[in-house]
């Protein structure tokens, strides 16, 4: 596993964004872990978070893209932090764009978009915190396409989230990220997977973050809800 992935896993735990215990998800499932990207609230946390995203995007998609789209609301700070980090780490200026929940009807920046416009020929990476069912992309894609100057010349390079939960969706045996790729044809990736999280944090018989008891609960959860590979 790459060092930046190990560092990111430790970062999630230290920031209290990734927690282990008993949690009821929006889907109704009882999960032994929970991840909430809204827990990144300080300047140093957002700076580091942007660097992790930039590193993962660079590793997975390279430099051949122009725009980073972060769906409202959580995608807005993610997009801003990541374009700043991308410029600092890789010396390339990437524009950011987000949508508003309600279009602004006045001022020079009126309309549905915040940040950059979407231009004909843009190559776009979508950035989100985490997706469990993959349904959010079904709301994001129409926004991007409706605001494009020429949708036929637009390319979605891929989507990047922070954590791949690796569990099946509500109506499929595939993971949310695999379902997105199947529906839209572009790669959907994560900085880390839960498999990598467990590999890094579980120390058999020890007192690591993932204890033997938590590991047993995770194994049972994935036996029931794990996605088909």
Phi, psi of 191 (to 5 degrees): -60, -45
- The verdict on whether 104 is a catalytic residue reads yes
Handedness of CA 182, 73, 19, 44 (dihedral sign): positive
- Beta-strand pair 155-164/123-127: parallel
Task: Give yes or no for a contact between 97 and 118, defined as CB atoms under 8 angstroms apart.
Answer: yes
DSSP class of residue 211?
-
| From 26, 101, 106, 229, active-site residue | 106
Catalytic (active site) residue 229: no
Instruction: List the one residue out of 207, 163, 211 whose CA is nearest residue 188.
Output: 163
Catalytic-role residue among 104, 135, 153, 216: 104
Q: What is the number of helices (H) and of strands (E) in the chain? A: 7, 8
Dist CA 134 CA 105 (whole Å):
31
Give dist(CA 14, CA 213) in Å, integer.
21
CA-to-CA dists, residue 108 to 103, 105, 111, angstroms:
13, 10, 9
Q: Is 52 exposed, middle or buried (0-12, 13-18, 19+ CB in 10 A)?
A: buried
β-pair partners for 126: 69, 159
Annotated catalytic residues are 104, 106
């Amino acid at each position: 596993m790459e060092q930046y992935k190990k560092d990111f896993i430790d970062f999630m735990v230290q920031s209290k964004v990734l927690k282990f215990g008993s949690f009821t998800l929006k889907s109704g499932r009882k999960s032994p872990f929970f991840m909430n990207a809204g827990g990144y609230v300080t300047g140093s946390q957002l700076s580091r978070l942007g660097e992790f995203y930039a590193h993962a995007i660079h590793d997975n998609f390279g430099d051949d893209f122009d725009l980073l789209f972060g769906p409202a609301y959580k995608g807005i700070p993610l997009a801003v932090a990541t374009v700043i980090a991308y410029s600092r780490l890789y010396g390339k200026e990437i524009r950011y764009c987000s949508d508003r929940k309600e279009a602004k009807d006045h001022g020079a920046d009126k309309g549905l978009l915040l940040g950059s416009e979407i231009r004909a020929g843009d190559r776009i990476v979508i950035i989100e915190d985490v997706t469990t069912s993959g349904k959010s992309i079904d709301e994001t894609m129409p926004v991007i396409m409706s605001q494009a100057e020429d949708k036929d010349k637009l390319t979605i390079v891929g989507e990047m989230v922070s954590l791949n939960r690796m569990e099946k969706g509500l109506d499929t045996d595939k993971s949310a990220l695999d379902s997105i790729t199947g529906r839209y044809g572009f790669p959907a990736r994560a900085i880390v997977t839960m498999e990598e999280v467990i590999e890094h944090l579980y120390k058999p018989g020890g007192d690591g973050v993932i204890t033997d008891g938590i590991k047993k609960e995770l194994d049972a959860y994935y036996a029931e809800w794990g996605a088909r590979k």
